A = this chain, B = another copy of it.
Amino acid sequence: MPDETSSGIEKLIQGVLAGERLQLARAITQVENESPAARPILQALYPHSGRAHIIGITGAPGTGKSTLVTELTRAYRQMGQNVAVVAVDPTSPFTGGALLGDRVRMRTLSGDAGVFVRSMATRGNLGGLSKTTRDVVTLLDAAGFERILVETVGVGQAEVEIASTAHTTVVVEAPGLGDEIQAIKAGVLEIADILVVNKADRPGADATIRALAMALGRSAPQPIRHHGQVVSVANAVDPLSTLPAWHISVMKTIASSGEGIEPLRQQLETHIKWLHDSGQYARREQDNATRQLTHILNAEIGRRIQHNVPATTFQALAQQIWQRKTDPYSAADILLESLFASGLSL
């Protein structure tokens, strides 16, 4: 049982700040479970975050993302940097997959105190995945990890958006996966800062690279970022900046043999430097802050509704809806009127 007294929470917070793995793992569990301790932990640790370079790595199943992430972690370790990996597990939206993924990685990177790996099962609320991932990243950031790799499968909407909220987004492709699996589409370029063709020793690698390069040639030089769901914020960066635009490069890797990993690491460093020099870093941080504020607002309002509406009221309305005695829009209006009349207090 987690200790949720204020001294227990304080111990977790201090433990995370001191980089203690056990306390960090416990704090993450509190956040994942949305326990009552989650909020004070996040409030206390948030001001200590903001130092990590957060890298989103996304790609279709079969592109070798996990191996790439493992090898990239090794490359960062050779430079003496601490690395945390958050794997939003691709294969099972429910149970099972996350634990297995952890075990496989742990075997490769185990015993290294400068590496922390956390797999997240995506079980749970629709829409909650993005908020939880961000919160876990905040904890890892506050714990002093300098590079945080967030790995997601580039197929689901939520998963792609999680990767695209990082400072730098890497889209991983691989040759020969077949049409349905290939994500070589103009659209994917919207989120990519760096494109990687992994498994580059496979037949068809050059065709894949050519197709990507052609698609890049047709696209705008600057990726369009997506905004939060309730409010979008105007561009806070001077649009007349004379700094050069970022050029999305296509890089070849063979993660299984480590080939191309060190150039990729260097390109990631180049991108973070460009983000700072161009003012884009501030813009992405502000976009992310907006999204985070929006998510928290939505979650908090949801909690207040649950607290204020008796389950029987909700159930009665749901019954009228499915029996087509009313429509869900009119039912929502009825609920909202009574909620706001009551002030929707805690």
A residues contacting B by CB (< 8 A) are 39, 42-43, 46-47, 49-50, 60-62, 66, 90-97, 122-123, 125-130, 153-161, 177-183, 185-188, 190-191, 229-231, 233-234, 236, 282, 285-286, 288-290, 292-294, 296-298, 300-302, 305-306, 309, 311, 314-315, 317-319, 321-322, 324, 327-333, 335-336, 340, 343-345
Contacts and interface: CB of A to CB of B under 8 A. Distances in A.
A322 B46 contact: no
Contact of A336 (B96, B233, B300, B319): B300
**Which one of A123, A187, A335 has the highest number of Cβ atoms from chain B below 10 Å of its Cβ?**
A187
Nearest to A129: B157
A317 B294 CA distance: 11
Q: Helix, strand, loop or mixed for chain A's interface?
A: helix
20 contacts: A50-B324, A60-B61, A61-B180, A91-B181, A93-B160, A95-B187, A96-B187, A126-B157, A127-B229, A153-B156, A155-B159, A181-B181, A231-B305, A236-B315, A286-B318, A286-B322, A289-B317, A293-B331, A296-B329, A297-B336
Nearest to A331: B293
Contacts of A188: 92-94
Contacts of A282: 322
Nearest to A296: B332
A324 B294 CA distance: 17
Contacts of A159: 155-157
A157 B129 CA distance: 8
Contacts of A327: 42-43, 46-47
B185 A92 contact: yes
A143 to B, nearest CB: 15
Give 4 closest A-B pairs by Cβ, nearest first.
Answer: A156-B156, A94-B187, A46-B327, A289-B321
A164 B186 CA distance: 30
Nearest to A320: B289
A70 B149 CA distance: 39
Contact of A328 (B292, B311, B332): B292
A325 to B, nearest CB: 8
**Which one of A95, A129, A160, A332 has the highest number of Cβ atoms from chain B below 10 Å of its Cβ?**
A332
